[in-house]
Amino acid sequence: MRHSRGVGSGSAVGAPGRRIVVRERGRRGRTGPWSAVLAEPTDPDLVEDDAAPARRPRMLLLLSIAVAVLAVDVLTKVLVVANIEPGEDIKLLGGAVYLTFWRNTGAAFSFAEGATVLFSLIAVAVAVVIVRQARRLYSTGWAIALGLVLGGAIGNLSDRIFRAPGFLRGGVVDFISVFAPDGRVFPVFNAADSAITIGGILGVLLALRGIEFDGTRSRKETARG
């Protein structure tokens, strides 16, 4: 009789009594050492699900940056073609920057002019590789870097596809020149070239720091740290 009264009153005597006390405290919302244990997710699946949002791939960020770069590049080129005649230049900032209108058949910054088809194929390959890598991309820094490169590559590729003289041979519209209107101080470039350059520099810095696409540090950098 004594034992049954202890259990019924929520006593901590015996294993059954302890289980009853814990359940009653959980229902009443009381705090204590047992409530902390019950609140912790001990199931590995639960822990993994709780941490999953912080490890989502950064594909959306990459694509958003690429689309933004492409939009800026296309818009600025349309405005230049509509408002500036070939050979004309507009001085800005006291001659530090000139807006002009050139057609480039080479790579970024008018490099290797005449190799339009080659650089068109390279741009296609770069775009495909970046999109494939985006599936395992968890690093915000790499998402920004690759988004800039992807947007710039597609921007210049669209010129080579749709502009004269023909498919994959079109001239890329360049319109920014610094310190001289004819590009003799620095090659004439466009918004896509700038995005490719900035993305490339950022990618080099991330690689030097040992940051992987998945956001982790390389083993060598971790050992040094």
Q: What is the pLDDT of residues 72-128, one digit of tens each?
A: 999 999 999 999 998 899 999 999 999 999 998 765 555 556 677 888 899 999 999
Say if 215 falls within a structural domain: yes
Q: Does residue 176 sit in the same domain as residue 142? A: yes
Over the stretch 144-189, which tens digit does the pLDDT of each residue have? 999 999 999 999 999 999 998 889 889 999 999 999 998 899 999 9
Say if 61 falls within a structural domain: yes
Kindly state the tokens that stand for 185. 């101080």
Q: Does residue 148 sit in the same domain as residue 88? A: yes
The total number of structural domains that make up the chain: 2
Q: Does residue 71 sit in the same domain as residue 143? A: yes
Quick one: pLDDT at residue 198?
A: 98
Q: Cα 133 to the chain's mean position, in Å?
A: 11
Q: Does residue 35 sit in the same domain as residue 60? A: no
Give the pLDDT band of residue 37 (cuts 50, 70, 90): very low
Say if 47 falls within a structural domain: no
Q: Cα 177 to the chain's mean position, in Å?
A: 28
Kindly state the tokens that stand for 56. 């989502």
Torsions phi, psi for 89 (to 5 deg): -140, 150
Say if 50 falls within a structural domain: no
Q: Does residue 17 sit in the same domain as residue 110? A: no
Q: Does residue 203 sit in the same domain as residue 110? A: yes
Distances (CA, A) of 117 to 71, 87, 165, 191: 23, 25, 12, 21
Q: Active-site residue 159, yes or no?
A: no
Distances (CA, A) of 36 to 11, 42, 180: 20, 12, 70
Say if 169 falls within a structural domain: yes
Asked whether the beta carbons of 190 and 106 are under 8 A apart, the reply is no
What is the Cβ-side half-sphere exposure of residue 51, based on CA atoms within 13 angstroms? 7
Say if 129 falls within a structural domain: yes
Q: Does residue 155 sit in the same domain as residue 183? A: yes
Range of the domain at 212: 56-224
Quick one: pLDDT at residue 43?
A: 41
Q: Does residue 9 sit in the same domain as residue 82? A: no
Q: Does residue 60 sit in the same domain as residue 23? A: no
Catalytic residue among 43, 73, 159, 174: 174
Q: Does residue 146 sit in the same domain as residue 179? A: yes
Q: Does residue 23 sit in the same domain as residue 86? A: no
Say if 45 falls within a structural domain: no
Q: Does residue 10 sit in the same domain as residue 61? A: no
Kindly state the tokens that stand for 70. 């492409």
Say if 48 falls within a structural domain: no
Q: Active-site residue 43, yes or no?
A: no
Catalytic residue among 43, 49, 182, 193: 193
Quick one: pLDDT at residue 11?
A: 46
